[in-house]
């Protein structure tokens, strides 16, 4: 399964991981979403039933059950200037 990283512009601490290449299934509550510019898809393995150590991985479980995983970091990954420009840290 390929997983893509997106950042929320409405809450700079929130990120989403999804198997949807355009992030269209990420919650609108944190929209708009921006795909990480340096992000190649992350490969987690074949899209099969979860077994072994993957069976307890909360990120993979959430993506397979809900289509996405949301996380939050303590330090914003990007900021919005007063002029409305976005910049990544």
pLDDT by residue for the chain (89 residues), tens only, comes to 888 999 999 998 999 999 999 999 999 999 999 998 876 888 666 665 545 555 668 888 899 899 999 999 987 656 654 444 445 54
**What pLDDT score does 13 carry?**
92
**What pLDDT score does 83 carry?**
45
Global pTM value: 0.74
3-class SS of residue 32: coil
CA distance to 18, 29, 48, 88, per residue, from 26 (Å): 7, 9, 22, 20
Which tokens in the block code for residue 29?
A: 């509550």
3-class SS of residue 58: helix
For the chain, the residue count is: 89
């Amino acid at each position: 399964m390929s997983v893509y990283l997106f950042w929320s512009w409405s809450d700079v601490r929130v990120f989403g991981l999804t198997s949807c290449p355009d992030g269209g299934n990420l919650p609108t509550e944190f929209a708009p979403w921006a795909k990480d510019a340096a992000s190649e898809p992350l490969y987690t393995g074949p899209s099969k039933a979860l077994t072994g150590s993957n069976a307890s991985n909360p990120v993979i479980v959430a993506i397979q059950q809900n289509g996405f995983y949301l996380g939050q970091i303590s330090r914003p990954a990007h900021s919005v200037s007063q002029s409305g420009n976005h910049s990544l840290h």
